[in-house]
Structure 1
């Protein structure tokens, strides 16, 4: 079942790509006491994700923070090394936390996984965005296949 408004963020161990290398984190702790804009996407270095999704959040970081967002988190079913390299490529700096969900445990707990095996990608995240305040979901938007509208940074800005 897909996570809904009012649900708690599930507690799952994930890896964060940091300047010092991969760092394990628990999602409960990551979301506690903060307003977090989390966006998920099918894969690092993929066309829409690299050309539009991540750059939009990087460009709108100040505006999102001005509206009360404490952290912006990018989720992908990739390993922390890939997420770290992608973060450098996208020049996210400290604007966006790059979250690696290598085994898709967090993505599956959110109910936002999809099987892209036929396209050679395996289990991946759907394209989505959510806002959580102190670990409780206040907004969730999942893209229809092939679309990029409700999960972009500008759409999240509009609902804050």
Structure 2
């Protein structure tokens, strides 16, 4: 069962790249007392994610933050090394690049994607959510291929 607007973010630990390597970061540290726009992609370096989805948030980061968002976070079922390299290759310094390497947070959200047909294993569905102090206020999950419901432009209309 998928999480929905009005639900609290489940407790989980993700990974970010620190100065000395991967570091744990809890959902409490990410979301508590903040307004966060979290978007998730099926995989770093994949075509739609690299050409459209992440770049939309990179170019609009200042506008999104000017509308009251404290943190813009990008998440994928990838490790912190991959997320860090992808963020650097996309000039995503303004974004928090979150690795959910084992998919535990994705499973807790109920937003898994079976990518075995593409050789990807279990991944995250493409989605975006607005979270205020740990509570989801908006959740947009893509109904299929494409990037419309979870794009930066769509989410900016909700701010």
TM over 0.5: yes
**Deviation per residue, 1:74-103 (Å, 9 max, x gap):** 01000010111111111111x110000000
* CA distance, structure 1, for counterparts of residue 6 and residue 66 of structure 2: 23
Count the aligned residue pairs: 159
Partners of 2:60 and 2:70 in 1: CA distance: 13
Q: Match of 1:36?
A: 36
Aligned to 1:8, what secondary structure does the other structure show? coil
Structure 1 segments of 4 or more deviating over 6 A? none
1:25 pairs with 2:32? no
Counterpart Cα distance in 2 of 1:152 and 1:133: 19
Provide the rounded CA distance (Å) in 1 between the counterparts of 2:92 and 2:128: 18
Aligned alpha-carbon RMSD (Å):
0.9
Aligned to 2:22, the other structure's residue is in SS state strand
2:156 match: 157
User: What does residue 79 of structure 1 align with?
Assistant: 79
Q: Does 1:132 align with 2:131?
A: yes
Q: How far apart are 1:17 and its partner, in Å? A: 2.5
Alignment-derived partner of residue 144 in structure 1: 143
List gaps (5 residues or longer) in structure 1: none
Following superposition, the deviation at residue 19 of structure 1 comes to: 4.7
Long gaps (5+) in structure 2: none
TM-score, scaled relative to structure 1: 0.97
> Are positions 1:46 and 2:46 aligned together?
yes
Are the equivalent residues in 2 in contact too, given 1:17–1:97 (CA < 8 A)? no
Give distance in 1, aligned partners of 2:100 and 2:26.
Answer: 11
Separation in structure 2 between the aligned mates of residue 56 and residue 146 of structure 1, nearest angstrom: 17
